[in-house]
Structure 1
């Protein structure tokens, strides 16, 4: 029998598309052979949600229409529904088939749905999950996910139950799997590329006048590259001919897959919504315009590092945009921005949520192949990666290829595994050498583009579960705090200043 999952989320002119997109990303990451997914969405002005359910296995329950016609940031959050929380709950469950049967999971991602809705919903599910990046309302949910960079437990102090488990910070940023797959290549590319192609994207919905003002300002800049404007507003699309007279501009109405599309650009001028995390994952620099109060977390993340790239209103942005674009012609400045923003989010948040919240395993070990050698060499050659190695010198490529081939094919007492996601993203390498009987020394190296995701501990646990008869020992330099934490989290005991041990599990 499949697990039943209900998502309650809306989109609209006054809401944007971000909440819907991140819920769809979670739903698409769930194994359809194990999970049966239903979405409940209310019809708002410019909600645009039906398109996103084309060619998906998900059921869609459409709630009655609201008459709200406002732009992003112009309404208080508790006015976003158009009905009361209790009315929304009753309509949602009246429209569901077999609602008497408990859902295994109910996910709420809505600023206007809080304690009253949750107090009802918790009786209809085994696990109630609230996605809340504001921290401005109380919860009785079993889990609260706040995927914003820098989130901390004090943000929810006094507003959650003792049993509520918190999943906080960029480790749980909700980006679809494709972003992590191209992250390493994209970040490296953006460190080298010159500024030639700029994307303008002010979000899924909003004030059309902002976009027109921005384009008029960009037309007056001396930038000789190419501006691409992403816009889904039909009124603007129908009247865009007045902007197309400038050959530097082209317009795109809709993008089906943002991953390869974003990778084409050297800079994005955009709203400070969830798409900032997508750009950060790929190392694409951003100039941000704040269009709503809930974007403070995003703008603060960048403002603390590069205040010159964050603007509170369109007029302020337009007065400085020419100078800002020119600053990215300096490759050293661009590289500084790329390194900084790409460190904020790695793109594994979705895998972490699916594993930890929905108990669907996304990580695995597989036996290494000779063709994995170049990938592992790239990790070893990354600046600072061999700092705590017994031999900190980077080997020559020929030496590494020979060593790796022998390790995989010839050395009987050595086993090498690649730690990866089930969708094929390589995250690390684990090796052990048998010393006597069932005792082996283990070593581990994690892909430097995916640090801060507890991957070391995950990989060591996967190895321990796979080789239960084996006892493992490891040597870790005392200054290598991250590795020491990984071994301890994986169940190892520290038996000396640098020694760790894990006994047989059988």
Structure 2
């Protein structure tokens, strides 16, 4: 980066029905912080079913859309070679093809930072693009493959810097743990108020949030299981979903049959306020966990993917959430969990444990380091 031009940052990240929306959303959070500091940001995304390209453009960022053809569609769900990342099929094409398409874009204007948030990409892809960027940042949750990055961020509870010891170069700076969780500034802004209102707990508002896609329809399974659960008569239920969610209309129909007033919110932009106003969440694992922790929101946690298991277990063991298992376990597990949680003091204790995990300033910490290194 030269003194007479702003820092340039390119994000390589995807959303899809398989991947979900969380990777794109946390990259947008980082991009918003970078843009507010004067950086120029753009995105490279593949046009998977369920992509968020128009949403990103609606936020004001240019997007280079990579096409998905018949060969890419055929690759979905295929078993991967032993030397490929476990999630390689999420890319929708061979990594060499993706690298060549990305290089053609980066060659136009070498960015100061390339930020990669994709479980399907590893050090081979990154090495193939060396010379097309000044610095490389990887956002990861798995610690299951090598990288050749300058900066690595893993925001997960229980992760240790040593987990990446053999996976990144010696010079790589590792930002590890929920103190680096990429949260929008409104979560930190509402944290104090949210924590204060939980000092006198009650269950008046229940939030259900299973991610922007919710491929297994965990939301519908939660609503069905709640019908046999001990919610107070005056409880109100809010369901948050993405516009791309394949079960949206079925959930809307089911919400109309609930014994408690139940609203379905789509593409919510004020999520921090919705969480702050809620007394309990039934939510999926993943990045949203850190939003709930920042606001001290007690959570019954549902595991929607294998890569959420370790994080869910750690949150459960910390007392910040109570894990219900997967969607198939809800009918059996939800009612007993609510009975246990509504006993005196349990909501307060869970909120106290959750709030200790992250303060909501992780994006600022990451941004400071990127500015220092550029």
TM superposition score normalised by structure 1: 0.66
Unaligned stretches of 5+ residues in structure 2: 78-84
What do residues 314-350 of structure 1 show as CA deviations (whole Å, max 9, x unaligned)?
A: 2323212122223333341111100001101111100
What do residues 407-442 of structure 1 show as CA deviations (whole Å, max 9, x unaligned)?
A: xxxxxxxxxxxxxxxxxxxxxxxxxxxxxxxxxxxx
For the pair 1:250 / 2:263, whether they are aligned, the reply is yes
CA 1:171–1:308: 2 relative to 1, 3 Å: closer
Which residue pairs with 1:183 in the alignment?
Answer: 191
Which residue pairs with 1:238 in the alignment?
Answer: 249
Out of 67, 79, 85, the residue aligned to residue 73 of structure 2 is: 67
Task: Kindly state the Cα deviation for residue 102 of structure 1 after the two structures are TM-superposed.
Answer: 2.3
Task: Give the Cα separation in 1 of the matches to 2:76 and 2:275.
Answer: 29
What do residues 381-415 of structure 1 show as CA deviations (whole Å, max 9, x unaligned)?
A: xxxxxxxxxxxxxxxxxxxxxxxxxxxxxxxxxxx
Task: Kindly state the Cα deviation for residue 139 of structure 1 after the two structures are TM-superposed.
Answer: 1.1
Q: Secondary structure in 1 aligned to 2:131?
A: helix
Task: Kindly state the Cα deviation for residue 182 of structure 1 after the two structures are TM-superposed.
Answer: 1.1
Which residue pairs with 2:13 in the alignment?
Answer: 9
- Between Structure 1 and Structure 2, the one with more strand by share is 1
1:406-445 to 2 correspondence within 5 Å? none
Task: Give the Cα separation in 2 of the matches to 1:275 and 1:234.
Answer: 16
Which residue pairs with 1:79 in the alignment?
Answer: 89
Contact in 1 for aligned 2:53/2:63 (Cα 8 Å) = no
Which structure has the larger Rg?
Answer: 1
Which residue pairs with 2:236 in the alignment?
Answer: 226
Out of 191, 202, 207, the residue aligned to residue 215 of structure 2 is: 207
Q: Secondary structure in 1 aligned to 2:238?
A: strand
Task: Give the Cα separation in 2 of the matches to 1:137 and 1:122.
Answer: 18
Out of 275, 284, 290, the residue aligned to residue 297 of structure 2 is: 284
CA 1:235–1:299: 2 relative to 1, 3 Å: closer
Task: Give the Cα separation in 2 of the matches to 1:64 and 1:137.
Answer: 26
Out of 328, 333, 344, the residue aligned to residue 357 of structure 2 is: 344
Task: Give the Cα separation in 1 of the matches to 2:326 and 2:371.
Answer: 40
Task: Kindly state the Cα deviation for residue 169 of structure 1 after the two structures are TM-superposed.
Answer: 1.2
Task: Kindly state the Cα deviation for residue 243 of structure 1 after the two structures are TM-superposed.
Answer: 3.7
Contact in 1 for aligned 2:179/2:357 (Cα 8 Å) = no
Task: Give the Cα separation in 1 of the matches to 2:309 and 2:37.
Answer: 39
Task: Kindly state the Cα deviation for residue 31 of structure 1 after the two structures are TM-superposed.
Answer: 3.9
1:300-315 to 2 correspondence within 5 Å? 300-306=313-319, 309-315=322-328
What do residues 179-226 of structure 1 show as CA deviations (whole Å, max 9, x unaligned)?
A: 111111111212223111111111111334433222111112231212
Backbone CA RMSD of aligned residues: 2.3
1:88-487 to 2 correspondence within 5 Å? 88-95=98-105, 99-223=107-231, 224=233, 225-232=235-242, 236-239=247-250, 240-248=252-260, 249-306=262-319, 309-359=322-372
Task: Kindly state the Cα deviation for residue 264 of structure 1 after the two structures are TM-superposed.
Answer: 1.1
For the pair 1:28 / 2:28, whether they are aligned, the reply is no
Task: Give the Cα separation in 1 of the matches to 2:124 and 2:345.
Answer: 52
TM superposition score normalised by structure 2: 0.88
Q: Secondary structure in 1 aligned to 2:143?
A: coil
How many residue pairs align between the two structures? 354
Q: Secondary structure in 2 aligned to 1:94?
A: helix
Q: Which has the higher contact order (CA 8 A, sep 6+)?
A: 2
CA 1:163–1:235: 2 relative to 1, 3 Å: closer
Contact in 2 for aligned 1:18/1:274 (Cα 8 Å) = yes
Which residue pairs with 2:80 in the alignment?
Answer: none
Task: Kindly state the Cα deviation for residue 37 of structure 1 after the two structures are TM-superposed.
Answer: 0.8
Task: Kindly state the Cα deviation for residue 107 of structure 1 after the two structures are TM-superposed.
Answer: 0.5
Task: Kindly state the Cα deviation for residue 110 of structure 1 after the two structures are TM-superposed.
Answer: 0.4
Unaligned stretches of 5+ residues in structure 1: 361-506
